[in-house]
Amino acid sequence: MEWTGEALLIGVRRHGESSVIAEAMVAGRGRHLGLVRGGRSRRLSPALQPGNTIQLTWRARLEDQLGMFSVELLQGRAAALIEDRTRLYLSQTVCELLHLLPERDPHDRLLGMAVRLIDSAPDGAALARFELALLDDLGFGLDLSTCAATGTTEDLTHVSPKSGRAVSRAAAQPYLDRLLPLPSFLTGLGNASPHDIADALKLTSHFLDAHIWGPRQEARPAMRDGLVELLSRERE
Domain chopping of the chain, boundaries? 2-77, 123-234
Predicted local confidence at residue 232, as pLDDT: 74
Contact 66, 21 (CB under 8 A): yes
Q: What is the mean pLDDT of the chain?
A: 95
Alpha-carbon gap, residue 43 to 137, rounded angstroms: 36
pLDDT digits (tens, 9 = 90+) for 166-201: 999 999 999 999 999 999 999 988 888 989 999 999
- The b-or-e profile of 123-143 (16+ CB within 10 A means b, else e) is bbbbbbbbbbbbbebbeeebe
Selection from 20, 19, 23 nearest residue 7 by Cα? 23
Phi/psi of residue 22, nearest 5 degrees = -95, 145
CATH number, domain 2-77: 2.40.50.140
Kindly indicate the confidence band of residue 26, based on its pLDDT and cuts at 50, 70 and 90. very high
Alpha-carbon gap, residue 13 to 39, rounded angstroms: 10
Lowest mean pLDDT among 65-74, 172-181, 223-232: 223-232
Predicted local confidence at residue 235, as pLDDT: 55
pTM, full prediction: 0.94
pLDDT digits (tens, 9 = 90+) for 97-148: 999 999 999 999 999 999 999 999 999 999 999 999 999 999 999 999 999 9
Kindly indicate the confidence band of residue 55, based on its pLDDT and cuts at 50, 70 and 90. very high
